[in-house]
Amino acid sequence: MSDIKELISGICPGATFTEGETLLVTVEEKDWYPLAKALKETKGLEFDVLSALIGMDWKESLGVMYYLTSTSRGWEMISVKVAVADRENPMIHSVSDLWKVALFQEREVYDFYGIKFINHPDMRRFFLRNDWVGYPLRKDYDTNPALNPLRMTDEENEDDTVSYVEQPDGKIKEVPGKVFEESDYVVNIGPQHPSTHGVMRFRASVDGETVKKVDVVSGYIHRGIEKLSENLTYPQILHFTDRMDYMSAHQNRHCLCMCIEKAMGLEIPRRAQVIRVMMDELMRISSHLLAFGCTAMDLGATTAFFYGFREREMILDIFERTCGARMSMNYNVIGGVIADLHPDFVKDVKHLIEIMPDRLKEYHKVFSGNIIAKNRLKKVGMLPKEDAINYDITGPSGRGSNWSCDCRKVHPYSIYPELDFEEVLLDGCDSYARYMVRMKEIEQSCRILAQLVDNIPEGDIRAQVPKVVKLPVGHWYQQVEASRGTFGVYIESDGGKNPYRVHFQSPCFNLVGVMDLTCRGNMIADLITIGAALDFVIPDIDR
């Protein structure tokens, strides 16, 4: 830790350090880009992953919190705070050329806070309509509905973009641009399309059937969860996590609860920990089964989809008995879980573990063992390891590129360190590898469940939690391994019962960021399979 301080002070003497959960480095905007470059490239630092990029409004200033991770330093994490006082025309240097993941994340910050990123190639709004007035997550945002009425007209000038380029003399010049050339044959896929897994929209310029460029247009299910959370108390914001990535509902909620518990300094009873982990793993199986089904269906093998759903229904039954709902379970609460396990839980889980290996073989026979499926998936959507790291592609998709990024291993949380399971790694870097990682992860999840199902300790399911949950002043960042990758929650508190800022760092957001990279040069039909194998959930992207 101390060597980081020395190295950073050497590069940027003006930086100040605050010890905390992670080391917080505060730098001036003018020092930020050189520091970022140094952090990424200096030997001994090599912060190669930009884990989170969080726009902030500290009232007197606007700014960005960066969470950087260094895989070579044992996944050590530091945070960097960059603030600018200018509220009229805030500008920060873009780091999208260092960490490609920032390409979309900076657009999100621009959308929410109006912070313009210098040298970012494509500074459009990301979630909101391009005729939106104001920046909704700013604290002084005018909520007057007359400013932003429900517009029933289409957005105009969709192709227009702008970038703010720094000139050699230090002046910033506004350079307008176009997303697609006039001569491009642009095929619009979505928002209502059977294979975008929700309301995603891709605009793909094609040459014959070969994709030349993909433009991701998001925000068709952007519900403003982060803004809503700022006006609710901590227990009230929990339910949003179930409705973001509804296929990782338990994990996401686990993450948010852990973040709040960490801030409160709350000790969770062992029984609750075990139940939470079991639920997480069941959720992972159910999610991967759905992913299997959808991949198969997007490839036209409809029958396999039904087989996947058959087993998924069994898991939903387990959830329903214990949690009371098939989806949106709302099971984790601050301090533990909301209800005790159903008496049949152990029996049901054992049955599931017992049948899964056979069913996985059946899936392989029905779908992935088929030569057509193999030809459709192999060597399609190549994502080399360096790109996976640069775009922060975690979860099964990252591990399909042979990047060891399982949060359960690298940032162990809850009772995962005690458990015996393997991180599935494949080096195919293609859609098939991503698909196979999922199938193998089902086996590993079953293995975790088998270790726990007979060892659920007796005890409380919930810790004592004060009636009104208040967090001390400060900020916290917590990550878990959700079904699709590393899910992060950032909470900044001003000491009140409402959070000052909540940010959800969703894995799918990064997944959709590589669509352009992976689809180029492939065919339109591959665009669908690449999307299916990346397996993003749209409400998780849009939040």
Partner 1 sequence: MDVKIKSMKHEDFKDNEYIDKLVEELNATGANVMVGKLDQLINWGISNSLWPLTFGTSCCAIEFMSLGAARYDMARFGFEVARNSPRQADYIMVQGTIVYRMAPVLRRLYEQLAEPKYVIACGGCAVSGGPFKNSYCVVKGVDEILPVDVYIPGCPPRPEAFFYGLMQLQRKIKVQKFFGGVNRKEKIEEFFAEHPEEKGRIG
Partner 2 sequence: MFNFGTWTSEFNNFLMGFLPDWLTVVVECVIIAVLVLLTYTVLALFYILYERKLCAWFQCRLGPMRVGRWGLLQVFADMFKILLKELISLKDTDRFLFKLAPYIVITSSVVMLACLPWGNGLQIIDYNIGIFFILAVSSVGVLGILLAGWASNNKYTLIGAMRSGAQMISYEISLGLAIMTIIVLAGTMNINSLVWEQDSAWFIFRGHIPAIIAFLIYIVAATAETNRGPFDLPEAEHELVAGYHTEYSGIHFGFFYLAEYLNLFIVSGIASLMFLGGWMPLHIPGWEGFNNVMNWIPSIVWFIGKSFFVSYLIIWFKWTFPRVRIDQMLAFEWKYLMPLSLANLVLMAVCVALGWHF
Contact residues toward partner 2 (CB under 8 A) are: 185, 187-188, 193-195, 209, 296-303, 306-307, 310, 366-367, 370, 372-373, 375-376, 523-526, 528
Q: Let me know: does 113 contact 55? Beta carbons within 8 Å.
A: yes
Interface with partner 1, residue 191, by CB under 8 A: yes
Residue 129's binding partner among partner 2, partner 1, none (Cβ under 5 to 8 angstroms by kind) is partner 1
Tokens encoding 44 = 């001994």
Closest to partner 2 by CB, 162 or 525: 525
Interface with partner 1, residue 309, by CB under 8 A: yes
Interface with partner 1, residue 188, by CB under 8 A: no
Residue 269: CB atoms within 10 Å: 19
Q: Using CB under 8 A, which residues numbered 274 to 293 contact partner 1? A: 290
Rounded (to 5) percent helix, strand, coil in the chain: 40, 20, 40
**Looking at 222, 284, 411, 501, which residue binds partner 1 (CB under 8 A)?**
222
Interface with partner 1, residue 212, by CB under 8 A: no
Interface with partner 1, residue 247, by CB under 8 A: yes
* Stretch near partner 1 under the rule CB under 8 A, chosen from 227-235, 360-368, 371-379, 386-394: 227-235
- Residues 474 and 7: their CA atoms lie apart, in Å, by 26
Closest to partner 1 by CB, 290 or 530: 290
Tokens encoding 518 = 């992976």
Residue 223: CB atoms within 10 Å: 15
Give the nearest distance from C-beta 494 to partner 1 in angstroms. 21
Give the nearest distance from C-beta 516 to partner 2 in angstroms. 18
Q: Let me know: does 79 contact 1? Beta carbons within 8 Å.
A: no
- Residues 269 and 250: their CA atoms lie apart, in Å, by 18
**Looking at 139, 326, 374, 378, which residue binds partner 1 (CB under 8 A)?**
326
Residue 375's binding partner among partner 1, partner 2, none (Cβ under 5 to 8 angstroms by kind) is partner 2
| DSSP states along 295-363 | HHHHTT-HHHHHHHHHHHHHHHHHHHHHHS-SSS---EETTEESSPPPTTHHHHHHHHHHHHHHHHHHH
Closest to partner 1 by CB, 63 or 293: 293
- Residues 138 and 418: their CA atoms lie apart, in Å, by 43
Residue 191: CB atoms within 10 Å: 17
Q: Let me know: does 33 contact 12? Beta carbons within 8 Å.
A: no
Tokens encoding 104 = 């979309």
Residues sharing a CB contact under 8 Å with residue 513, sequence separation 6 or more, in sequence order: 100, 101, 103, 104, 216, 391
Q: Let me know: does 438 contact 368? Beta carbons within 8 Å.
A: no
Give the nearest distance from C-beta 430 to partner 1 in angstroms. 26
Interface with partner 1, residue 321, by CB under 8 A: no
**Looking at 3, 156, 209, 313, which residue binds partner 1 (CB under 8 A)?**
313
- Residues 180 and 397: their CA atoms lie apart, in Å, by 28
Q: Pattern 403-442, binding to partner 1, x per CB under 8 A?
A: ----------------------------------------
Q: Pattern 509-538, binding to partner 1, x per CB under 8 A?
A: -----------------------------x
Q: Is 116 helix (H, G, I), strand (E, B) or coil?
A: strand
Give the nearest distance from C-beta 297 to partner 2 in angstroms. 7
**Looking at 2, 167, 192, 455, which residue binds partner 1 (CB under 8 A)?**
192
Closest to partner 2 by CB, 196 or 397: 196
Residue 152's binding partner among partner 1, partner 2, none (Cβ under 5 to 8 angstroms by kind) is partner 1
Residue 246's binding partner among partner 1, partner 2, none (Cβ under 5 to 8 angstroms by kind) is partner 1
Tokens encoding 457 = 């300790």
- Residues 414 and 406: their CA atoms lie apart, in Å, by 14
Tokens encoding 356 = 């899964």
User: Which residues are at the interface with partner 1 (CB under 8 A)?
Assistant: 127-129, 136, 141, 143, 148, 150-155, 191-194, 198-199, 219-225, 227-228, 231, 239-240, 243, 246-247, 290, 305-306, 309-310, 312-313, 316, 326-328, 538-539
